[in-house]
Structure 1
Amino acid sequence: MSFSDSGSSSNGGDYKTFRQITRERLLYEMLRPEGSKSTWKVLVVDELTVKILSSSCKMSEFTQQGISLVEIITKQRQPMTSMEAIYFIQPTEANVNALLSDMTGQSPLYKKAFVFFSSPVSRSLVTLIRKDMKAMKRIGALKEMNLEYISMDSQGFITNNENALEDLYSDEENHQRADACLNVVAKRIATVLASLKEYPVVRYRGAKGLDATTMTSYRELIPTKLAASVWNCLTKYKQTIEDFPQTETCELLILDRSIDQIAPLIHEWTYDAMCHDLLKMEGNKYTHEVPSKTGDNTEKKEVLLDEEDPIWVELRDVHIADASERLHEKMTNFVSKNKAAQLKQSSK
């Protein structure tokens, strides 16, 4: 594991946010496969990759890239033998078997398949695909996208491992389950670095008293184990990903909660935190009732609080008191310049 000083970033040129990089990889690197001759295609995803796509792109953007339909690989689908399909799936045995079933038999579902795996695929699965000659004739591409994370905003992401806390820190230690969890987290963190084309110096908090005479618990070794797993993934990327840096370009710091135990106890008073505390939200979607056009009843309206909302981007990290003042100023300024708003206000 390297501990040398990091160099400059490998990403030269114009600055792009994390979400922009993710979006461009999905839209232009994956949805425009070489060798495709079809104008309209079907996009086949699994339960995780559909979340990856929806976190960074809109359906209208898929349509602009020639995607006419998005299907879930685990569900029964209608044959579309005249259309090509793009598969964006995790490299699991179940997904590969479903892919081979789609492309073989007397009536394949699609004319041709371009397959993109969200993370590195094992040799055994590659061998399984190559053995099926009927499917191979209909597969136009097999590629590792190395993109298996969900972007939350312009700079943040999650690995979508909801059971990680229980798997790693449960009172009843299960080392096999914990190791599996760490491997998934490490693999997905590594795909973030693959998308950014960054090769970091990996730094981590070592366990206290890590020597031959001291018993060290599994919990104390979690940062060490995660750092090792991430590093193993990155060393493979050096050999397999084109234009991946060969020397360190940044630093990756891996810590556990013990480094800052007070943070979870401090209540956040930002606009973002208050919205999630006080409003009934589903993810970043807020549903509220507004008067109908007839004025008799109310109707429900959905609002997405995301990167496309400039007010949300401006105020989400601002203290709620400051946010309230700014919103009042914006509303006053809007009413002063909008005749329709003035008429509505005067009618009340």
Structure 2
Amino acid sequence: MTVKDVIKNKILQDMVQAVNPPGKWKVMVVDDEALRILNTVCKLSDLTDEHVISVEGLAKRRQPYPDREAIYFISPDPASVQRIIDDYTQPKPPYAAIHIFCSAPLSDTLFEKIKRSPASKFIQSLKELNVDFSAPESHVFTVDFPNSLKTAFNPQTPSLQNYELEKIAKRLASVLASLGEYPYIRYHDPSGGKKASAAGKLAELVQAELDSLSRINPNFPPQTQYQRAILVIMDRAVDLLTPIIHSFSYQAMVMDLLGLEDMKYSPADGDPVKLDESDLVWNQARHWHIAEVMEYLADAVNKFTTENKAAAFAMKRNNSGGSSLDQIQQMKDTMAHLPQFQEMKAKYSLHTSLCHEAMKAYNGRRLERISQIEQDLATGETSDGRSPRLSLMEVISLLDDPRIEHEEKLRLVMFYVIAQNGMSDSDRQKLMEHAKLTLEESQAVHNLSMLGVRLSASLMGRKGDNKGQYAYGMRDKGKEHKFENSRFTPIIKYILEDQVKNVVEGITFPWVREPPSSELGGRPMTWAASGSAASGAPSAAGSVRTKASWATRRAVVSANANGTATGSGGLAGLQPRPTENLRANGPRVIVFVLGGLTPSELKACYDVMKDQQREIIAGSTHLINPMHFVEDVKDLHRHGPSRPPRPAGSSRASLPERASSSPSIGDRSPRSTARDMNGGSAYPARSSKHSTARTDSAPAIIGPRTGSSGAVASRIGNIENRLAGMNLSERPPIGGASGKPANGRSALREDSASRSVNIDKEREKKKGWFTRK
């Protein structure tokens, strides 16, 4: 069961399905925090299928339903509790009865406040779901603390740091408990035990939270046939190059160059679109290099226009006439394939537009030379394996180039300072002067020292730090790569590979409590590397835990693993494969980064999971792109809020969308805890066609120097022209006339989301509840 499945099951089964009023239909009222959680895992149809007639904001003016029962889904926030109480100080209560569900445990103070309020006589149930975290992807979670970099590296006081770390630890423990895991914990300690690290403090706090839960609830941890999981906690200082480097995998590139927030893209001629795992093109290609994505789109569009009857009819109609009988038959074939045509044309148009915008930004920012310098500095060698002879003057020449954006110059200065690991004060000053950095930006460069970066050269030399076997670029030397601008590997990948092989350096990554060797193993690495399918049986070395799940109430029938797939037309080749039982190969590895996680690191986690056939779950306080990281470093020296805090994962939440992600329900039951009112995934395998293995004698690069940028631009243009040629209305006419659907919108812009809305509306009319009483 993935992290998304856990949250979705708790919401739908432990909350929505647990409320069964006599009239069947119910209302849901949510605060902003609960709505954000809801939006990550559910779409509106999931709730209407469970007889929820309306989802309304707690802070907004709402229409009363005095004959309906209501579900209040809230965070344990005093303001949210007060609004519930205010609803029942009115002469006429808005709902017949209420059921309160909290995303996290209520404080005793808030609990007593609810008990003594006028609302208490209307409350039929009050439960705590422990879902105070987000799951932007199936194997990714965040605990939503976007200001955690300052918490870890420059707290105002030690007590304030402890307070913030305790809150993070509680949420991380909530994730682990929801997954049914009581893991062995290890953490990053760059000092080798000489001084306490923020990661070490967090590890101890998480251990204490889990120990407390185990003492309070004898049913935790749950019974399982698998080995005990391993939690690796590290902070952002473990790798400072990855948050700044220009990465050219699809997801990282659009988040960086297009500045997408909450993975929402707003095309120039359409409505905003959320990029998530329900988009099978995105799910398949998000971690590919941008050049591979364009190659895939070109091939997919060509195949689509020849195999889909509607697309073929549209293309043929633009080029020829034909008899009326032939056109009637073609129209019948076209109508049969029209839904797949509309959906896939929208998908291919969307991703072609994304690639076009990303490449436009790449060329406009002149990233070819910048990325080459970054890769040479990060890996310690040039693309042909020689030691780089990069002089300070070469970097200064780029900083003096007026065609390069100012933000890129700031990133280049920060990158150079980190990679050099010590340089003369005069050289560093030259860089900042030529980049024309503001006082705030110059302070950001100096703030890097708070993250462990050596700014000035020392008598010990540049290699006097304690990165050990996880130094930048050490494992990249001599390695062949397909793309010249993608040679650097995030440090997190090395750490996870070593953990899977049980060779992580113990001094740099000590255990909170060292496990027995039998708990660390799995199948031999020769088996894992062979790519054999998992058998589903537990490892012989694994221990069987005998306790029942700490909050399990009932078993859940397993759903189809391919529940998100549409299963026809152009999507057929993109259907997600059933999740393999990777836990049978060894203990699940959960990695948590304090201070933010990047798209490149998410890719690294998926790569290790695929290559080593072991389940990896990635977590962090929040997800970041380079802009976020630079802004955080600017503020690192300040105490107190210097600017409005950035939302944890997105812009302001909105009501659940019909086109949002809908992962399938897994085969394990959800968990929740109740309080007495009386006081008591699978990573989709890529085809060999898109393998990242080196196939050419020389590495490729996107850039005018080799002509690849022009080739990519040409390919984008060809795809756009081919898609534009599919001029097909909703009802293909006989002959050459054209038309529009009755709603006045061009059928070419009708996507799966709008069709889903219409279908749901028709379904609602049949049910008869669309008229409010």
TM over 0.5: yes
Q: Is the 8 A contact 2:19 2:99 kept in 1?
A: no
Change (3 A) 1:181 1:58: same
Question: 2:147: which partner in 1?
Answer: 163
Q: Which of 45, 52, 66 in structure 1 is aligned with 2:51?
A: 66
1:196 Cα deviation from its structure 2 partner: 1.1
Question: 1:4: which partner in 2?
Answer: none
State the distance in 2 between where 1:107 and 1:236 align. 44
SS in 1 for 2:32: coil
SS in 2 for 1:77: coil
Change (3 A) 1:344 1:227: farther
Change (3 A) 1:168 1:198: same
1:23 Cα deviation from its structure 2 partner: 1.4
Unaligned runs of 5+ in 2: 321-724, 726-773
Residues 122-137 of structure 1 mapped to structure 2, 5 A cutoff: 122-132=107-117, 134-137=118-121
Which string of whole-angstrom CA distances, capped at 9 and with x for unpartnered residues, describes residues 217-271 of structure 1? xxx5311221233223323433566843169831211111233333324322111
Q: Is the 8 A contact 2:173 2:210 kept in 1?
A: yes
State the distance in 2 between where 1:345 and 1:279 align. 34
Q: Which of 230, 253, 260 in structure 2 is aligned with 1:281?
A: 260
Question: 2:279: which partner in 1?
Answer: 309
State the distance in 2 between where 1:74 and 1:209 align. 49
State the distance in 2 between where 1:30 and 1:169 align. 39
Question: 2:165: which partner in 1?
Answer: 182
The answer on 1:120 being equivalent to 2:99 is: no
State the distance in 2 between where 1:242 and 1:82 align. 41
Q: What is the count of residue pairs matched by the alignment?
A: 315
1:280 Cα deviation from its structure 2 partner: 5.8
Q: TM-score scaled by structure 2?
A: 0.38
Residues 230-241 of structure 1 mapped to structure 2, 5 A cutoff: 230-238=206-214
1:346 Cα deviation from its structure 2 partner: 4.5
SS in 2 for 1:152: strand
Question: 1:251: which partner in 2?
Answer: 230
Question: 2:17: which partner in 1?
Answer: 32
Change (3 A) 1:204 1:278: closer
Q: Is the 8 A contact 1:114 1:140 kept in 2?
A: yes
Question: 1:77: which partner in 2?
Answer: 62
Which string of whole-angstrom CA distances, capped at 9 and with x for unpartnered residues, describes residues 275-300 of structure 1? 223446342222224xxxxxxxxx42
Q: Is the 8 A contact 1:33 1:114 kept in 2?
A: no
Change (3 A) 1:304 1:259: closer
Q: Is the 8 A contact 2:180 2:222 kept in 1?
A: no
State the distance in 1 between where 2:21 and 2:185 align. 39
Change (3 A) 1:335 1:280: farther
State the distance in 2 between where 1:24 and 1:72 align. 22
Q: Which of 120, 123, 133 in structure 2 is aligned with 1:149?
A: 133
State the distance in 2 between where 1:241 and 1:34 align. 25
Unaligned runs of 5+ in 1: 1-15, 290-298
Task: Tell which structure's C-alpha radius of gyration is larger.
Answer: 2
Aligned partner letter, 2:230: E
Change (3 A) 1:268 1:256: same
Question: 2:763: which partner in 1?
Answer: none
State the distance in 1 between where 2:217 and 2:57 align. 28
Aligned partner letter, 1:155: H
SS in 1 for 2:81: helix
Q: TM-score scaled by structure 1?
A: 0.81
State the distance in 2 between where 1:304 and 1:287 align. 9
Question: 1:268: which partner in 2?
Answer: 247
State the distance in 1 between where 2:140 and 2:129 align. 19
Q: Is the 8 A contact 1:280 1:286 kept in 2?
A: no
Which string of whole-angstrom CA distances, capped at 9 and with x for unpartnered residues, describes residues 41-83 of structure 1? 2212221111100011101111111222222223333332222
Q: Which of 183, 192, 205 in structure 2 is aligned with 1:229?
A: 205
Q: Is the 8 A contact 2:246 2:253 kept in 1?
A: no
Question: 1:12: which partner in 2?
Answer: none
The answer on 1:199 being equivalent to 2:178 is: no
Higher strand share: 1
Q: Name the stretch that deviates more: 225-234 or 110-119.
A: 225-234
1:168 Cα deviation from its structure 2 partner: 3.3
Q: Name the stretch that deviates more: 60-69 or 271-280.
A: 271-280
SS in 2 for 1:267: coil
Q: Is the 8 A contact 2:75 2:104 kept in 1?
A: yes
State the distance in 1 between where 2:57 and 2:10 align. 21
Q: Is the 8 A contact 1:168 1:178 kept in 2?
A: yes
Q: Is the 8 A contact 1:167 1:174 kept in 2?
A: no
SS in 2 for 1:75: coil
Change (3 A) 1:243 1:268: farther
Q: Name the stretch that deviates more: 324-333 or 159-168.
A: 159-168
Question: 2:32: which partner in 1?
Answer: 47
The answer on 1:323 being equivalent to 2:299 is: no
Change (3 A) 1:175 1:41: farther
State the distance in 1 between where 2:14 and 2:175 align. 16
Question: 1:342: which partner in 2?
Answer: 315
Change (3 A) 1:302 1:259: closer
State the distance in 2 between where 1:117 and 1:173 align. 31
Change (3 A) 1:120 1:301: closer
Name the % identity: 34
Change (3 A) 1:303 1:131: closer
